[in-house]
Amino acid sequence: MKLQLFSLLITLVFLLFFSCRKTEYRTVDKPAYIRLFNSLNIPINVINKDDPAPFLCLFIDPEFDESGYPVGGLIVSDLLDVRNRYASPNPAHAGMSNSPYNAEFPGKELYPTAPIVNGYDLTNWAQILAGKRRFLLMHRPRNTMPFQQLHRSMTSVCVDTTLTLAEGEVYTMHVLYKDFETKETMFYAREESFHKQPFSDDRAYVNFYNLSSEGFWSSPYKGIGDRVTSMEAGIPDTTNVFLSHVSVTVNENDTEVHEFIPGYTKNYVTTLVRDMSGARVAPYHSFPIFIQEGEQIHTNSWQYLQFFSMALRGLEQSFRQGTANNPTRIDIRQHSNFYNDYVYLELTDNPRPESNVNLRTPVERLTLPNLLLNVHSGVNNPQTFGSVSSIEYINGLVYLTTIQRTFPAPIYE
Amino acid sequence: MKQIKFKRWSYLLMLAGFFTFSACEREDLLIENERERLLRNAAEFLRNNYDFSLFNAAIEWVGMDESLRDNEADYTIFAPTNAAFNSIGVEFPSDFEKMDRDSLRFMLEYHILPSAVYLSDIGYEQADQLQENLTGRQLHLGRPAQPSTGVGGQFYVNGIQSRANNNNVNLSNGVLHGLDQVLRYRSGSVRDYLEALPEYRNFVALLKRFDYWDMLDEDRNWTIYALSNTVLENRGLSLDAIAELNVAEYDADLLLSVYLHPDQHLFTSDWLVVEARGGVFRRTRYGIYSIDMSGGRITVRVYPSTNTAVRVVQVSNTATNYQVDYKADNGVIHGLGGMVVLPDEAKL
């Protein structure tokens, strides 16, 4: 009997110590949170065809072989493509994209992402050991060959820099062209502050950055090729930003009516100055959620942004206002006097069909998703939430990065 | 009896425990070594391929086949097809024997890289991916954007196409890519190359007559659209006529600057590789010059700035394969089928 018990015990001990361990959680001690965009967005054209492809491989704390070629590191993230125009509040592209290329880091990488910090969902940020970190980005050809298997002469150094990251801080990083003429590249890192600010959850917040290359706006070559729309002409280094809100209602004929919301039309927001230092977070501008459907927290309203150069100072309020119920969109090519001086942007989920937009002014270049997010939450479908967003203007293109607070999960009845 | 039963049961349990333990142990699945693929070396492959028999004859004539047999080495061979050689007048293997062996060797070495560059190494939507060949010169590799389906197998070397079904041949000592044309290269500047091309003799004389020749310095890149002797003679510019031209009567810039483009080295393939909607524009005091080499044609347009009514001057010709993409150390030369600004129009 004793023997049997003993053998049973041995078996149990075996089972206890040698049974399968399936999960090894990757944890990061003392994490800082980083998100990195490849913003080398100047298209390769016949004119600048010598430039290396804006397609990168990221090494953090790289390790090198004897010949000085990067072979590994703390983090290696390959196939980093030029960023998408919209960086959504959740990593939707990770689940839905079938492209092998990654539009941001961490993006689609299977890498420990940041937790919810002060109510903000930071799953788009990667956890990385805080402290002094070296960032090396290598140019590589645009194909799916892993970096280590590439012909070495096909790669070159894009950016190599060292940063000190503080524990628990949130960083947004960019690889940018510093100079439009020489195509010199640079690393940009901004320590975010939104998670420390006392933001109200019934308002939406937005700030603006101009991260354009030195000499882009004044270059005669910027409008060549497909870059002939008003946005491609770009905005000067100093512009005044005006924000209008447009409500959407349905009239008795069942047609949508878009109207400026009184008191929230052509409001001065900020003076946007080109700044590539990353030294400060631009002040956030806020506006309320315009609830229009009684009991429900829901709105269809959208935002209309206008960038005026200093040359148009004082003319903003009278400038092509349109009628109250028809916010004018201007095909800037018909108003060449304002080329370089005026740009508008619509922040709407559903760009309206536009009669005066032709192929040379693609409407998608002048529209971005709404700053107010409509999602199914709790029993409300949809419910409108304010977001915290950054609008980054880089070399003739506008990028929107939206961060959302966590919200109650949908209840299906 | 009862005791024995219990004992058996416990042994069973022990056995089960061992199974649980050992089941977790997953060794890497090792498949018996794959049957080794018998790849041929570069020299063998060329010798046994009818489509490269002329290239092979040239390789053998200069005695390079031994080094291409070296299995320790790694090569990328850009091999022009027989049709490519035929288009420049090489019909028979014996034709190579009439050529200078050293320059032929140089030409062949220009087609071979000392390392293996596979199709998958070449990036999409990118021109000018430089690779050093055996002569130490750089070849410009370009590959169009990836199609929505498939891999997009063709690419370009110095403007010359390597077709999807004729490249990326695995060799035991590298890789072979077929080329539609022989690479046209001459060591030296664009000036040296122009002087070496007899069909542009009149064009060279014209540039010299108007003191434009020295402008083509070696410190910068040039793309030159050269006018053939026939084109110029049709406009009355024979060698004798050029020698007798009264230079002072003409606006030389208006007459000639449209053919000479500094700081560019454009291949015809660039329009297929990178985005080039609208072509290349160059602003001058006469207006805008626009160059477009898409769709197998060279089109040069001038949008004059002085005229209020826009009068677009346009010259367009089919880019016949053997008249384009002459690569020199500081630029590229393309043949152009007509004068953009006629001599009479440039008279002061």
Q: A297 is written with which tokens?
A: 């927290």
CA distance A41 to chain B (A): 14
Evaluate whether B200 touches B194 at the Cβ level (below 8 Å): yes
Q: How far is B248 from chain A (nearest CA, A)?
A: 33
Per-residue pLDDT of chain A (413 residues; tens, 9 = 90+): 677 888 888 887 777 676 666 677 788 889 999 999 999 988 777 778 888 889 999 999 999 999 999 999 999 999 999 988 888 888 766 667 778 899 898 888 888 999 999 999 899 999 999 999 999 999 999 999 999 999 999 999 999 999 999 999 999 999 999 998 888 999 999 999 999 999 998 899 999 999 999 988 887 766 544 444 445 667 889 999 999 888 888 888 888 777 888 888 889 999 999 999 988 999 999 999 877 667 778 888 888 888 888 887 777 776 654 544 454 544 443 344 566 777 777 787 654 433 333 323 344 456 788 898 888 888 888 888 999 999 998 888 888 899 988 888 899 87
Bridge partners of A343? Answer: A307
Q: B53-78, pLDDT tens digit by residue?
A: 999 999 999 999 999 998 889 999 99
A11, A53, A220 ranked by CB distance to B13: nearest:
A11
Task: Give me the residue label for tokens 């953009």.
Answer: B340
- Residue B176: strand, helix, or coil: strand
Tell me whether residues B24 and A18 touch, CB distance under 8 A.
Answer: yes
How far is the C-alpha of B327 from the C-alpha of B319, rounded, in Å?
A: 15
Q: Is there a contact between B279 and A151 if contact means CB atoms under 8 Å apart?
A: no
Q: In angstroms, rounded to a whole number, what is the distance separating the alpha carbons of residues B31 and A201? A: 59
Weakest mean pLDDT among A126-135, A350-359, B159-168, B174-183: A350-359
Measured distance CA(A348)–CA(B323) in Å, rounded: 53
Q: Tell me the pLDDT of chain B averaged across its residues.
A: 86
Report whether A234 contacts A395 (CB < 8 A). Answer: yes
Report H helices in A22-133: 92-96
Under a CB-based contact definition with an 8 Å cutoff, are residues A104 and A38 in contact?
Answer: yes
The first and second tokens of residue B227, run together, are 């006018």
Chain A, 44-83: which have a CB under 8 Å from a chain B CB?
44-47, 49-50, 53, 55
Closest listed residue to residue B61, CA positions, set B25, B108, B22: B108
Name residues whose C-beta falls within 8 Å of residue B106's C-beta, 6 or more positions apart in sequence.
Answer: B135, B187
Q: 3-state DSSP call for residue B111?
A: coil
Tokens of B147: 């199609």
Rounded distance between C-alpha atoms, residue A138 and residue A150, angstroms: 12
Of A143, A153, A226, the CB nearest to B277: A226
pLDDT at position B24, please? 63
- Taking the C-alpha atoms of residue B72 and residue B67, their distance in angstroms, rounded to an integer, is 10
Q: What gap in Å lies between CA A192 and CA A169, rounded to an integer?
A: 7
- Helix/strand/coil for A93: helix
Q: Is the ipTM of this complex over 0.90?
A: no
Rounded to 5 degrees, φ, ψ at A353 are -60, 135
Residues in a beta bridge with A240: A271, A308
**Is the pLDDT score of B244 beyond 80?**
yes
Q: Which token pair is A213? A: 């290359």
Distance from CA of B121 to the nearest CA of A (A): 6
Average pLDDT over residues B163-177: 93
What integer is the mean pLDDT of B182-205? 93
User: In angstroms, how far apart are the furthest CA atoms of chain A?
Assistant: 101
Query: Considering CB atoms only, which of A20, A46, A55 is closest to B271?
Result: A46
Catalogue the E-assigned strands of chain B: 75-80, 112-113, 126-132, 138-143, 155-157, 160-162, 169-171, 174-179, 184-185, 222-227, 260-262, 280-284, 287-292, 297-304, 313-318, 326-328, 331-336
* Bridge partner residues of A203 (DSSP): A288
Q: Mind listing the pLDDT tens digit for each residue in B323-335?
A: 889 999 999 999 8
3-state secondary structure of A336: helix
**Please, what is the Cα angle at B143 between A212 and A70, to 5 degrees?**
65
- CA dist., res. B118 & res. B124, Å (int): 13
Please name the residues in contact with A132: beta carbons below 8 A apart, sequence gap of 6 or more: A162, A163, A164, A165
Q: Which residue has the tokens 């910068």?
A: B220
Are the beta carbons of A123 and A91 closer than 8 angstroms? Answer: yes
Q: Does A317 touch chain B (CB under 8 A)?
A: no
Question: Which pLDDT value is given to residue A157?
Answer: 95
Query: Alpha carbon A330 to chain centroid distance?
Result: 26
Q: Are B49 and B57 in contact (CB under 8 A)?
A: no
- What the block records as the tokens of B88 is 């420049």
Question: Which residues in chain B are contacts of A14 at CB distance < 8 A?
Answer: 17-18, 20-21
Share of chain B above pLDDT 90, in %: 51
Cross-chain residue pair B6–A4, CB shorter than 8 Å: yes
Which H or E run contains A175?
A: strand A170-177
For B301-310, the pLDDT digits (tens) are 777 766 544 4
Give the domains, in start order, of chain B with CATH numbers: 42-184 (2.30.180.10), 186-346 (2.30.180.10)
Residue B1 pLDDT > 80: no
The CA distance from A222 to the nearest CA of chain B, in Å, is 12
Of A43, A50, A53, the CB nearest to B123: A53
Q: Cβ contacts of residue B253 below 8 Å, gap of 6+?
A: B284, B285, B286
Task: Give the other-Cβ count within 10 Å of A34's Cβ.
Answer: 24
Min Cα–Cα distance to chain A from B316, Å: 19
At B216-240, the pLDDT tens digits run 877 889 999 999 898 899 989 999 9
- Beta-carbon contacts of A222 under 8 Å, excluding residues fewer than 6 positions away, are A180, A216, A232, A233, A234, A395, A396
pLDDT at residue A363 in the model: 47
Q: Where are the beta strands (DSSP E) in A39-125?
A: 56-64, 70-80, 86-87, 116-117, 120-121
Task: Provide mean pLDDT across the span B242-263.
Answer: 88
Q: How confident is the model at residue B298 (pLDDT cuts 50, 70, 90)?
A: confident
CA dist B261 and B51 (Å) reads: 38
Asked if B122 and A141 come within 8 Å (Cβ–Cβ), the reply is yes
User: Which pLDDT score, from 0 to 100, does residue A79 have?
Assistant: 93
Strands A326-327 and A322-323: antiparallel
- Tokens 């959504």 belong to A88
Q: Within a 10 A sphere around the Cβ of B16, how many other Cβ atoms?
A: 12
Mutation target to probe the A interface, by most A beta carbons within 10 A, among B263, B275, B294 is B275
- What's residue A362's pLDDT? 43
Interface test mutation site (partner A, options B7, B10, B118, B130, max chain A beta carbons within 10 A):
B10
Pairwise CA distance, residues A117 & A114, whole Å: 8
**A354 alpha-carbon distance from chain centroid:** 26
